[in-house]
A and B are shown apart, each in its own frame.
Chain A
Amino acid sequence: MGWTWDLYSELVRTNFKLKYRGSILGFLWVLMRPFVTFLTLFVIFSSISSAQGFSGKSEYAMYLLIGLVVFTFINEGIIEGMNSLMQRSGIILKIGFNRFIALASSITMALINFVINLLIVSVVAVTADVSLSALSGVYLVFVILTALLMVLGISFFSSIMLIRLRDLSHIVELLMQLVFYASAIFFPITIVPERWRFIVEYNPIAVFVQAAREAITSGSVVRFDYVIGAFIFSLVLVVMGNYFFQRNVKKIAEFF
């Protein structure tokens, strides 16, 4: 157990160092990426935000920022999770260890980046109205946990499938780009025409974003039944995914 933990933390550490070593801003890049996206979208869309039911620019800023940070987390988790085995083909071909550690350490990267990104949110939050309550804080954690479970469940399948099907990474990246627009990140749900509303109402990423937003800005618990459903679904997905993963992972060394 001690060793398993060490291997996990060593892989996370290495990943982190490699990503930001040799760049002048180092790990500031973690903050930069969503922040630049935020600024761009903010500059473009904040002028029309008051017409769309936001009481002021700072309210829109919070709306946009939380949306981006939550989306970035899920997006990164899905992409890193999918690439986790492929990326480590070098060590997988030479050493027998529990491959789940490779997957877990990749997803952890997304989680660490998310926590760092929350720091920007808290900085911007000073200028905006925030009413995070104890209850909504707990709910926020639960929403993020559900998203994490979903990412894990998907990664159990995608990490294995990527090895046989290299196109998967392009497909997933494209898909996530579409999901970005279908998740009401930078526009209010109310501007979506009624007949297309179901897309943002039932797309899990949109719901997670929405629930996280309300939890932080109004201190309320929204879409609780949906999130509970998503949580149970994700649990089932993780159990099935784990079975699929353990069954197939023993063979992957032959297919790199």
Chain B
Amino acid sequence: MNKKAIEVKGVSKTFRLPLTRKVTVQSYFVNPFERQEYRTFRALQNVNFSVDEGEFFSVIGRNGAGKSTLLKILAGVYEQDSGKVCINGRIVPFLELGVGFQPELTARENVYLNGVLLGLTRKEVAKLFDEIIEFSELKGFEEVPIKNFSSGMTVRLGFSVAIKTHADIMLLDEVLAVGDEHFQTKCYSYFKSIKGKKTIVYVSHNLVAVKQFSDRVLYLDEDNKYYVGPPDEMIQTYAKDVSTMDQTN
């Protein structure tokens, strides 16, 4: 009945981490026959799930469980080793706020740059510009180079561009907690307002927010196993795993 926004079928990803890194020509000449040693790190193994249109889908798990890798695969930054990813709709990765921001450039220039990087045309940015500045509460600072901004101001600007991109699918990597309290409230109320209208994939350690917003949760554990289910249940499983791990340590 529901249309699928994201379908992930049998996706695996393994990283080969070189132990001694050969990045210079010199190292090739000094010892050309030395075999490069690798440690393989399996981030994802045969992961299957789908996200419905308009669903708020969260991903939880400990550090190194593959959450960010999964998000980067969805965003098209990494390529999976095997498996398939189908995405229906325009996807905007929110892996970092203010991607491409240049300190030397003004707020206006950065809004254009960032907006275009996130998939808007220049024309669309021009149309949205006033809205973006208004939401970021940076009126009067349009022509100021952002190197003179406080970190909070920069983050607000980045956040405002990102939420105005009118994506169908948003990938959020722990960006909800930005800015001061006032701005945070604004962000959360924004997320409440789009909940159900946009598809959101949210990666976070903030279990309170996960519980509050999510329709379903994907839990990636340390042994490349994964579970998909309702938030309460998944958070419980996660908490139990964490506590048993703490005990054995």
Contact = CB atoms under 8 A, between A and B. Distances in A.
A55 interface: no
A92 B75 CA distance: 11
B23 interface: yes
A90 B77 contact: no
Contacts of B95: 93-95
A166 B113 contact: no
Query: Secondary structure of the A side of the interface?
Result: helix
A95 B100 CA distance: 10
A168 B28 CA distance: 12
A253 B72 contact: yes
B113 A14 contact: yes
B64 interface: no
Q: Which secondary structure dominates where chain B touches chain A?
A: loop
A21 to B, nearest CB: 5
Given A164-B23, A166-B23, A253-B77, A6 B116 contact: yes
A63 to B, nearest CB: 37
A165 B79 contact: no
Contact of B121 (A6, A94, A167, A171): A6
A207 to B, nearest CB: 29
A111 to B, nearest CB: 21
A94 B93 contact: yes
Contacts of A97: 76, 117
Interface of B: 15, 23-26, 72, 75-79, 93, 95-96, 99-100, 102, 104-105, 109, 112-113, 116-122
28 contacts: A2-B121, A3-B119, A6-B116, A6-B121, A6-B122, A10-B116, A14-B100, A14-B105, A17-B109, A21-B104, A90-B99, A90-B100, A91-B117, A92-B77, A93-B77, A94-B75, A94-B77, A94-B99, A95-B75, A95-B77, A95-B93, A95-B99, A95-B118, A96-B76, A96-B77, A164-B23, A167-B25, A254-B15
